[in-house]
Structure 1
Amino acid sequence: MNHDNYDPAYITDILKTTKTVALLGASPNPDRPSNSVMRFLLSKGYRVFPVNPGQAGKEIHGQKVYGKLADIPEPVDMVDVFRAAEYLDGVVDEALALPQKPKVIWGQLSVRDVDAAAKAEAAGLKVVMDRCPAIEYPRLMG
């Protein structure tokens, strides 16, 4: 797949069919983008599971923080990645090791690794990179 340009229908379908999101790299700091994106997703009705090993057991926006994807007690539809691009391959590996794989790996702005994307897509996952759902949602869904 070409990850330079996405068909609006591709992203719209992901945003409409996703119900649960693991937000990897969630921060309790309101000045961090992950914090405001989590707040946005919650406001749009998504169930968000923040993931941050340094915050595990605490809460962000009233949601319990998990140390890693495997600690989340139920399957998630999408993994939203707020980590540096060099970690995306490891995130894909972690997601693929889950008993129920997510449907989508979403790399936030500047999070791009075409090899990691190819690995996820080969396993049947959809991939979005270098985009933010808090930007795409209002642009595509009003």
Structure 2
Amino acid sequence: MIKRLLGESETWAFVGLGEDPERTAYQQARLLQMRGKKIVPVHPSATSVLGERVYASLGEVPGKVDVVGVYRRAEFAGQVVDEAIAAGVGAVWLPLGVIDEAAARRALDAGLDVVMDRCPGVEWALRRGV
């Protein structure tokens, strides 16, 4: 599933992606953008990140989103996963250290693919560029 998500997905919404290049969300979004993915930043106070328009919430993002990267602390992950389910996305990706088993179960029950406690950059490297 990870190889499929990295290889076949086109649009990734990064919830929590702000303007700070030192943050993990920024680095991972930039990595995927450099590998041809469309990045949609979702952050309540940023305006432009990595040359892309920022949306205040996942519900405001127009068009189809394949994967939602949940770059928020674990205690906020469930809310983001519920928004992803409501938005009809195909998958949620919770990065290293972001673990919410109940939210993952809700997403799976709604038919979404779920990756939890994994880093997209590391997974990309392990799969030799997908």
TM-score bracket for the superposition, by shorter chain length: over 0.9
1:136 matched to which residue of 2? Answer: 123
Q: Distance in 1 between matches of 2:128 and 2:59?
A: 31
Q: TM-score, normalised by structure 1?
A: 0.87
Q: In the alignment, is the contact (CA less than 8 A) between 2:85 and 2:112 conserved in 1?
A: no
Structure 1 runs not aligned, ≥5 long: 1-9
Q: In the alignment, is the contact (CA less than 8 A) between 1:12 and 1:141 conserved in 2?
A: no
1:49 matched to which residue of 2? Answer: 40
2:77 matched to which residue of 1? Answer: 88
How many residues end up aligned between the 2 structures? 129
- Equivalent runs, 1:24-39 vs 2, <5 Å: 24-39=15-30
Equivalent of residue 123 in structure 1, options 102, 105, 110: 110
Q: Distance in 2 between matches of 1:141 and 1:15?
A: 11
Amino acid at match of 1:26: L
Amino acid at match of 1:62: G
1:111 matched to which residue of 2? Answer: 98
Higher Rg of the two aligned structures:
1
RMSD, aligned α-carbons: 0.9
Q: Distance in 2 between matches of 1:96 and 1:105?
A: 9
Structure 2 runs not aligned, ≥5 long: none
Q: TM-score, normalised by structure 2?
A: 0.95
SS of the residue corresponding to residue 121 of structure 1 reads helix
Q: In the alignment, is the contact (CA less than 8 A) between 1:109 and 1:130 conserved in 2?
A: yes
Say whether 1:40 aligns with 2:31: yes
Amino acid at match of 1:124: G
Q: Distance in 2 between matches of 1:88 and 1:32?
A: 17
Q: Distance in 2 between matches of 1:61 and 1:14?
A: 21
1:14 matched to which residue of 2? Answer: 5
Residues 59-83 of structure 1 show CA distances to partners (whole Å, capped at 9, x for unaligned) of 1110001100111111100000110
Structure 1 vs Structure 2: percent identity of aligned residues? 39
1:36 shift after superposition: 1.0
